[in-house]
A and B are shown apart, each in its own frame.
Chain A
């Protein structure tokens, strides 16, 4: 029964969308370009990743042409506000704090954080309820990327922690490996795929449960845009719903992970 309803709304949706398919205006999309496997460049200079696929899918469905612009993470929102690009599709979590300055589409990926640290060091950072034990963070150097949900979480929950702020994700992993920081907090999906399951990461493991407090991580990652563009937001949301309901979003995720990265309920 549910299936029929879904297929019917799909037909309605696609006819509605095709009616709006008139112009080929170009939207510039901002992303880090150094955040594998979500948005990165391979050696042939091609942009690949989950965010890139989402951008291309949305472009195809809405009829907008897109152009990619690479931007360092801590300047992502200022650059959007300065009109360097029109959309942020860079695994940016939808948080209250960010919603004060920009608008988001509906979510297209889970947003969670987890702490990674060396196997050799015994660390008892969280109790059995999944809450952090502040005293056990003493003397531990934490690496975080500037202006991320992870740095926000740390600033609010563990303000006394010894934190070092990095410009990009890769530097985080590099310094974890060479021991400049003891732990990092970052996206667990990427951490597992690109690090822990590989030889470089064999000496490391997760040191915390998955943290997904909505206050810091929002309901997921979404497409960021400047405020006051309700029309654009609707088009993007409809496009995302289409991708979710047709299973296309799942194929993007399955290219990299053996599971999907979104909730089906986001499609309605």
Chain B
């Protein structure tokens, strides 16, 4: 394990990047999932079709392909769009952190759309009717009834989505993001010890997964705190 000496701090910074990508993509995933679920549950035919296309495209395409495509293509697309509004724009470049984060958020977001949709549909009809009978507005209904019940139902599958997010971060190393797998490749160039380095990366990711799983269990327990065990 002496091969690792000198590389500890690099792996630490790499892990920090993994954490940053996770937090950024978590927010975006929840956003995309909610928008997608709302679109699928709405009455608008167009929204439903768009959401269906969204889920089909991003659930059917390999993550690595989406990441590569976004890295090369996103900047070109966004620049073209920006040029419509502001012709003096020369170029907008998107660093690998954001193209990668955006890519994996869209992918996991398409799975989250299905999860959230199922969760919203699983909200107790009786509670909704009672809320309406009590004269709650749509917004109050949403905040006090739908969301609390929905996230409890969605949590176990969403925990899996969070695990996918963390693991997909390793794929972003392909476009040069300086997270742990990329650090490992650099370390191998200098030390020539691939097994040691890759196992170490595996251990780091295992650590992240464990933290997420334990957090999900704790949050589940918090969510159940007012229910009696059947």
Contact = CB atoms under 8 A, between A and B. Distances in A.
Partners in one complex: yes
B91 interface: yes
A75 B9 CA distance: 28
Most buried by B among A35, A42, A78, A200: A42
B48 interface: no
Contacts of A72: 174-176
Contacts of A82: 71-73, 75-76
Interface size class, chain A? 20 to 34
Nearest to A69: B176
Nearest to B177: A70
B72 to A, nearest CB: 5
B185 interface: yes
B75 A40 contact: no
B80 interface: no
Nearest to A43: B6
Interface size class, chain B? 20 to 34
A40 B10 contact: no
A83 B75 contact: yes
Contacts of A34: 185-186, 188-189
A40 B176 contact: no
B189 A170 contact: yes
B190 A200 contact: no
Given A33-B186, A43-B6, A45-B10, A75 B192 contact: no
A168 interface: yes
A98 interface: no
Contact of A70 (B178, B187, B188): B178
Nearest to A85: B93
Contacts of A169: 189
Q: What DSSP secondary structure best describes chain B's contact surface?
A: helix
Interface string B57-99: 0000000000010011101100000000000000101000000
B186 to A, nearest CB: 5
Contact of B91 (A33, A78, A83): A83
Nearest to B72: A82
A75 B7 contact: no
B185 A168 contact: yes
Nearest to A177: B192
Contacts of B185: 34, 168, 170
A15 B68 CA distance: 45
A261 interface: no
A44 B6 contact: yes
A11 B209 CA distance: 62
B207 interface: no
B194 interface: yes
A174 B190 contact: no
A170 B76 contact: no
A170 B189 CA distance: 6
A145 B74 CA distance: 27
Contacts of B188: 34, 170, 174
10 contacts: A33-B186, A34-B185, A34-B189, A44-B10, A70-B182, A75-B72, A75-B175, A169-B189, A170-B189, A174-B192
Given A79-B71, A174-B188, A174-B194, 11 more contacts: A34-B186, A34-B188, A36-B189, A40-B189, A41-B190, A43-B10, A72-B174, A75-B71, A78-B72, A82-B75, A170-B185
